[in-house]
Amino acid sequence: MVVAALCVAPISGAKRLAPPQNHATAEAPANAEPKPLSTRVVAYQIQATLVPREHKINASETLTYKNLTGQPQQTFPFHLYLNAFQPQSTFMTEVRLDGTRGSSSGTSWDPKHYGSETVTRLEVDGMGDVTKNIHFIHPDDNNTQDRTVFQVTLPTPVAPGASVTFRMDFVDVMPEVVERTGYKRDFYMVGQWFPKIGVWWKNQWNCHQFHAATEFFADFGTFDVKVTVPQDDVVGAAGDLVSSTNNSGGTKTLTFHSEDVHDFSWTASPHFTDVEDFWTGSAGTVRIHLLMSPGNMATAPRYLQALKGTLAYYDKNVGPYPYDRITVVDPPHGALDAGGMEYPTLITAGTAWWMPKGLLTPEVVVAHEFGHQYWYGMVATNEFEEAWLDEGINSYEEVKVMDALYGPKTSVINFPFAQMGDAESQRVSYLSMPDYDPLTRFAWQFVGDQSYGGITYGKTATVLLTLEKLLGENKMRDVMHQYFMRYRFTHPTGADFLKTIDDVSGQNLDWYFNQAVSGTNVLDYEIRDVRSDPVKWYESVSTGPRVYRSYVTVHRKGDFVFPVDVKVTFDDKSSTTEHWDGRDRWIRYTYERSAKVAAAQIDPDHKVWLDRNFFNNSRTVSSYDSTTHKLLNIWVFVNEWISQLVAWIA
């Protein structure tokens, strides 16, 4: 590991490290033009100048769009995401109603969090200035005050297979960090910052407004971006550094290039420390840059360990990582809203100076955000409409990574006195609002932010963990690998994912998907009753040792039908396991034995993660109050101590 505090130079590890090998060109013959990994629909060339005093970015953009829609196109929609940070926007209205990451509902919005994005000129090659043709559209909610999507109609249509070049000037006013992007002091996280064209998808334009709960969707292509910033800034970006030139006036211009990606973001701060490292996987060497903020350096080794572990896990189990770089941005204190976000080849993490080792938040964030490189980045599903395909699948893989690296029971919290595993954490998140929304709901149509988070992240992970137990771990690994390999650099749908599962498993799992994916059914089984009665002499046909008739009643409380095992243990230590298809509402098992039933347990191997209540899955005949004594002891102690603290006023 190389640690270098670069105050005047942009990050660039290429000089120190072996050049990446085999990236993106593995299948190409020598001297041949590398075959693109993706269908490149867009080519962006952007020149941006940061004006720190005004927190503005003055920029010009040239977008060449290749019309692969199969039909003439005359009208083109564009996202202007930063306009979400205006008082009357749809985003703000939704935040006021139900909150979102970093903002609670009902909070008055501080004007420092306002941001905007204004296109001052739009020309189309061969068609002239079409600025006056710009008008804002509101496809999701008819909010006429929302300016996050504009549409431009060209004088003449663009023929199928032809390209059209848009040239525009725009000005970004960056908010103080909010919802992933903005500035804090002299730190800038510049994401979703340029006019981005919508996606022609399912035979129509897909260009949704920016909502409180939605993320993004865009086409693959190339990015050539020049960024002009103060000379003492350390810059990280979602692209390879091509050149760096010092300008007069104390600025420098950095040129980045990136291909087979669908977004470009960058960050700048004079206080970053660039921690460089590399990792070699099946597709070659990956340069790692950690841009660490002041006070957080102690977390750098933790970030690195988690990142390398995640890279290795994905490389082995999901597929190769084809890019030659990954940058992890550690936001400075006060800018955590910029943390926990993914962009192609650049992710933002999050920690604090006081972060104890037993709290694995930095590791979880890195494992999660890096995982997005595969699902959001390469598989590139529509996050507006099917957020579960990205966030949910990624949360499942996050569990797998974290459990593999840090242990299943200790992968989120690992103190000697308290623990929590990531799978449990995802499940608990799902349990907070389990039955309001199905996975398949459009992201902005969930009942609220809590349901969106619990269902999209937590429930999907829990559904897939249960599926893994149903199919077997190896088969599930194969499913994820096949899904990635089939659909990388495309825009698959939920149906594609489910079909892949059916294909790989060789089963028709509609019965499961109908309940777990498109339904809101809740799975809850309970042992309702365990009992043993001595068989009376007049009931018994044999004379011998005393016989007991034991009953075990299992109840399906929820609407979710799922086959389960029931293990019945007797007081002579013998046991038997029953298999119930769960179709009826209840089932009673009856045994006549010389031993009495001691306990019954549904799902003894803990396969059914979707079960809403694990505590009623078992019942013992004898009462063991050790757990309640332990809890009572803690609660009494806390109560006594708080009482004494309060009585200090006496």
Binding residues for another protein (CB under 8 A): 185-186, 271, 294-296, 332-334, 352-353, 409, 413, 415-421, 424-425, 427-428, 431-432, 599, 601, 612-633, 635-644, 646-650
Task: Give min distance, CB of 421 to another protein, in A.
Answer: 7
Q: How many CB atoms lie within 10 A of CB 206?
A: 17
Residue 37: alpha-carbon gap to chain centroid? 23
- Token pair 């993320």 in the structure block, residue: 215
Task: Give min distance, CB of 102 to another protein, in A.
Answer: 15
Using DSSP, state whether 330 is helix, strand or coil. coil
β-pairing verdict for 199-201 and 341-343: unpaired
When the beta carbons of 537 and 624 are compared against another protein, the nearer one is: 624
Task: Give min distance, CB of 435 to another protein, in A.
Answer: 10
φ, ψ for residue 265, nearest 5 deg: -135, 165
Q: What tokens appear for 114 in the block?
A: 């306002």
- Count of alpha carbons within 13 Å of 462, Cβ hemisphere only? 28
Q: Using the 8-state DSSP alphabet, how is residue 376 labeled?
A: I
Among 8, 165, 175, which residue's Cα sits nearest to residue 103?
175
Task: Give min distance, CB of 575 to another protein, in A.
Answer: 13
When the beta carbons of 84 and 608 are compared against another protein, the nearer one is: 608
When the beta carbons of 157 and 408 are compared against another protein, the nearer one is: 408
When the beta carbons of 420 and 547 are compared against another protein, the nearer one is: 420
Task: Give min distance, CB of 171 to another protein, in A.
Answer: 26
CB 518 within 8 A of CB 438: yes
Task: Give min distance, CB of 598 to another protein, in A.
Answer: 11
Task: Give min distance, CB of 625 to another protein, in A.
Answer: 5
When the beta carbons of 86 and 410 are compared against another protein, the nearer one is: 410
Using DSSP, state whether 412 is helix, strand or coil. coil
Question: DSSP readout, 32-72?
Answer: SPPPPSS---EEEEEEEEEEGGGTEEEEEEEEEEE--SSS-
When the beta carbons of 161 and 294 are compared against another protein, the nearer one is: 294
Task: Give min distance, CB of 292 to another protein, in A.
Answer: 12
Q: What angle do CA 104, 101, 147 make, to 5 degrees?
A: 90
When the beta carbons of 353 and 511 are compared against another protein, the nearer one is: 353
CB 369 within 8 A of CB 349: yes
CA dist., res. 585 & res. 601, Å (int): 17
Using DSSP, state whether 599 is helix, strand or coil. strand
Task: Give min distance, CB of 296 to another protein, in A.
Answer: 8
- Count of alpha carbons within 13 Å of 617, Cβ hemisphere only? 20
Q: What tokens appear for 126 in the block?
A: 């061969």
When the beta carbons of 297 and 535 are compared against another protein, the nearer one is: 297
Helices then strands, counting H and E runs in the chain, come out as: 12, 33
Task: Give min distance, CB of 103 to another protein, in A.
Answer: 17
CA dist., res. 534 & res. 551, Å (int): 12
When the beta carbons of 159 and 298 are compared against another protein, the nearer one is: 298
Task: Give min distance, CB of 645 to another protein, in A.
Answer: 8
Q: Read off the amino acid at residue 163.
A: S
Q: Using the 8-state DSSP alphabet, how is residue 237 labeled?
A: E
What is the sign, positive or negative, of the torsion defined by CA atoms of 534, 540, 544, 549? negative
When the beta carbons of 543 and 643 are compared against another protein, the nearer one is: 643
When the beta carbons of 542 and 644 are compared against another protein, the nearer one is: 644
